[in-house]
Structure 1
Amino acid sequence: MRLLDERQLARAPPFCRLDPHQLRRVRDLAQARNAAIGTVVFDEGQPALRFHLILSGHVRLVRMTAEGEQIIVLHVAAGQIFGLGAPLGRATRQETAITADDCQLLSWPTALWQVFSDDYASFAKETMRSLGARADEMSNRIVELSTKLVEQRIACALLRMIGQSGRKVAGGIEIGFPISRQNIADMTGTTLHTVSRVLSAWEKRGLILSTRCHVVVSDPHGMVMIASGAARPDQPATAARRSARKAASSIPYSAQASITV
């Protein structure tokens, strides 16, 4: 793959404040590649020799348990850096990175992390901001896994993915990369059977549309209500909205919280 110009880099948060000359230098030091869906970018336990930027597509970060079970830790979207070993003090990979769809990737030797940080103050600042957002996401997921019912966890996962990469289609908001029911199970600490049962029930109720590896959330508001616990998972969406409005009307407006997607 040939990077056409530095404007592609300028759209990525770590490099968004660099001037054209600086962007050109960063571009010239990069190694570019196309990676088809399902490509392993690096494996857990390997030396952390390079860090990566997604120009287009999505990358799935996965960890394996001692029992050999797969856990999806995170989805990383276009414009974000991943595989950072040096700033985190890690000499080896803590997870496996697999492309969730067709991707365009750039990478640099790990040694250049410190060079970029020293030469471009905004690079380190913007990268830390991105890492902070990921830490917040992981914290929220730990709370979900510890406190929420499985249907709520699945709803949270779908909402998180449409918030990250959703695109409007005729039937609602589609998750912008292929996602299987097994992937959703790996994200939410449950089984494929449970995810299939829940999604099938939601499809009958008009909350989602799903085909092989594609999910469209048809009723984002109803999904938010399930995720937040404002509606029972088996409660029809229209009844759930009535229930939520009735509950909200009984408390002062200043104490009410709205959730938007």
Structure 2
Amino acid sequence: MPRPTPTPTSTPPPITALDALLANFPELTPPATLTGRLDALLPCRALRAGRVLFAQGQSLAAFYMVAGGEIESRFAALDGRMSVLEHVRAPRLFGLAAFVTGKPARYEAAAVVDSRVWVIGASAYRVLMDDWPGFARALMREFADRFESNLRLLEAARHLSAPDRFAVALRQLASERAGPVDADGWRELKATQAELAQLAHLSRQTVNQLLRAAQDEGRLRLRYGRIALQG
């Protein structure tokens, strides 16, 4: 008896630069004249895990948008230790401040895993700002939100207690990468104790104690490499 022919499965098309921009700015509608030009304006660059995209103190000719993988932004302290600012995943933007101001980057960006980024150079920036109505205002809001988030982390690192710094870092990671609320009212966050410790400027032992305490109180659930948060 002949075997039934398997039904072909469709592969979803890869996300485009326009898709990623609209994910960042869902309130915008791109003009028809721009939609066909973005692929040429925004080349995609591949990065091996561990590769530094730009260094602290380097002048940038572009800013970037994550297409896949994960980028870590970090800076070197006076004692030589690296402090992590943020883990950036698709479709987040980064490197904007150094590019717009023309000043050297205050941090370095490196690929945590094999990653891809769209490169938004000067010509693409001019087109987006000049030819896409509302884009400039939306980008300014994004920049202001990022600045406010960084201020909260700086305040936490300098002035708040260890539990408060831990809570701020956990909220920061949750806002960046937590999944949707499931049927039981939980959201899954892919994060490690080491990431939380770096972001909160705490030891891994302290973060482990705070995570266990929060789990005992029913505020989160610990899984391997993941944390389930109440929605």
TM-score (norm 1): 0.68
Conserved 8 A contact 1:13-1:80 = no
Alpha-carbon deviation of 1:102?
6.0
Counterpart code for 1:107: V
Task: Provide the residue aligned with 2:73 in structure 1.
Answer: 61
Q: Residue 202 of structure 2: SS of its match in structure 1?
A: coil
In the TM superposition, 1:101-116 aligns within 5 A as 103-116=115-128
Alpha-carbon deviation of 1:93?
2.3
Gaps of 5+ in 1: 221-260
Aligned residues: 216
Alignment pair present for 1:188 and 2:196: no
Task: Provide the residue aligned with 1:173 in structure 2.
Answer: 187
Structure 1 residues 197 and 38: alpha-carbon distance in aligned structure 2, compared to 1, 3 A threshold: farther
* Structure that is richer in helix per residue: 1
- Alpha-carbon distance between aligned partners in 2 of 1:69 and 1:4, rounded to the nearest angstrom: 37
Conserved 8 A contact 2:70-2:111 = yes
Task: Provide the residue aligned with 1:155 in structure 2.
Answer: 167
Alignment pair present for 1:30 and 2:42: yes
Alpha-carbon deviation of 1:65?
0.4
Report % sequence identity.
20
Deviation by residue 1:16-55 (Cα, 9 ceiling, x = unmatched): 4322321321221211145566553322233312211124
1:46 to 58, 61, 80: 58
Between stretches 61-70 and 17-26, larger displacement belongs to 17-26
Q: Residue 79 of structure 2: SS of its match in structure 1?
A: coil
Conserved 8 A contact 2:48-2:115 = yes
Q: Residue 36 of structure 2: SS of its match in structure 1?
A: helix
Task: Provide the residue aligned with 2:102 in structure 1.
Answer: 89
Conserved 8 A contact 2:60-2:102 = no
Counterpart code for 1:73: L
Between stretches 28-37 and 122-131, larger displacement belongs to 28-37
Structure 1 residues 76 and 109: alpha-carbon distance in aligned structure 2, compared to 1, 3 A threshold: same
Alpha-carbon deviation of 1:149?
1.4
Alignment pair present for 1:142 and 2:154: yes
Alpha-carbon deviation of 1:124?
2.2
- Alpha-carbon distance between aligned partners in 2 of 1:59 and 1:34, rounded to the nearest angstrom: 12
Structure 1 residues 4 and 109: alpha-carbon distance in aligned structure 2, compared to 1, 3 A threshold: closer
Alpha-carbon deviation of 1:134?
0.6
Task: Provide the residue aligned with 1:164 in structure 2.
Answer: 176
In the TM superposition, 1:207-226 aligns within 5 A as 207-217=219-229, 220=230
Alpha-carbon deviation of 1:62?
1.0
Counterpart code for 2:66: I
Gaps of 5+ in 2: 1-13
RMSD: 3.1
Structure 1 residues 104 and 21: alpha-carbon distance in aligned structure 2, compared to 1, 3 A threshold: farther
- Alpha-carbon distance between aligned partners in 1 of 2:77 and 2:135, rounded to the nearest angstrom: 34
Conserved 8 A contact 1:51-1:81 = yes
